Structure 1
Amino acid sequence: MSFEKVDGYLGHLVLKTDGTILASGGDLENDERIAASLLKVVSSATKGDFGSEVENISVNYPEHSYIIVTSNQKINITKRNTADIY
């Protein structure tokens, strides 16, 4: 998957379900702090059963958002610029 093609792309993380960073880029390059925080969001939303009830989550801030998608026992996170959208 090419994250850079996402409109407003600022960065990305690909995590294993245990929080291990498999790939990263842009603003989120090896950002373990953000990875741990967003893993907690996913764990809370899915009750630890990744992809069972929740497949995607958006965390929105005034200037950017995190789009989180679970698939194939991986967590894909994209950081997007939302300042120009709203």
Structure 2
Amino acid sequence: MSFGLERIPDQLGYLVISEDGVLASAGELENDEHTAGVIMQMMRTACRFRLQGAAEPPFKRMSEDYVYTVTVSGQKVFVVKRQNNHREPVVV
């Protein structure tokens, strides 16, 4: 029930969360109910701040040393933890 998240390159762990709690987890996020709760609260808070007339959430990423990629699909929240690889901007 990993939904293919274990195949994501450089992933350090993942969570699949619903309103009922953690459905699946692995790696550094395995059985991490605390992080799941924090991420769900962050998502609820961030989704409340919508720009006037904007259809999409007003954020793309919330990160520091790690990137937590969060995707909402149906009634599930998919979270993948990856190392944040800081890249220099491409100058064209």
Give the TM-score band, short-chain normalised.
Answer: 0.7 to 0.9
Q: What TM-score, normalized by structure 1, do the two folds share? A: 0.77
Match of 2:44 in 1: 43
Count of residue correspondences: 77
- 3-state SS of paired residue (2:44): helix
What's the Cα RMSD here?
Answer: 1.9
Instruction: Return the alpha-carbon distance in structure 2 between the equivalents of residues 8 and 27 of structure 1.
Output: 12
Between structure 1 and structure 2, the one with the greater Rg is 2
Task: Report the TM-score when normalising by structure 2.
Answer: 0.73
Q: Which residue of 2 aligns with 1:69?
A: 71
- % identical equivalent positions: 30
What is the letter of the counterpart of residue 59 of structure 1? M
Cα distance in 2 for partners of 1:5, 1:58 equals 21
Extract unaligned runs of 5+ from structure 2.
Answer: 49-54, 87-92
Structure in which a larger fraction of residues adopt strand = 1
2:32 aligned residue: 31
- Structure 1: segments with no counterpart, 5+ residues: none
TM-superposed deviation, 1:39: 0.5
Poorly superposed stretches of 4+, deviation over 3 Å: none
- Distance change >3 Å, CA 26–CA 67, structure 1 → 2: same
1:7 is aligned to 2:9 = yes
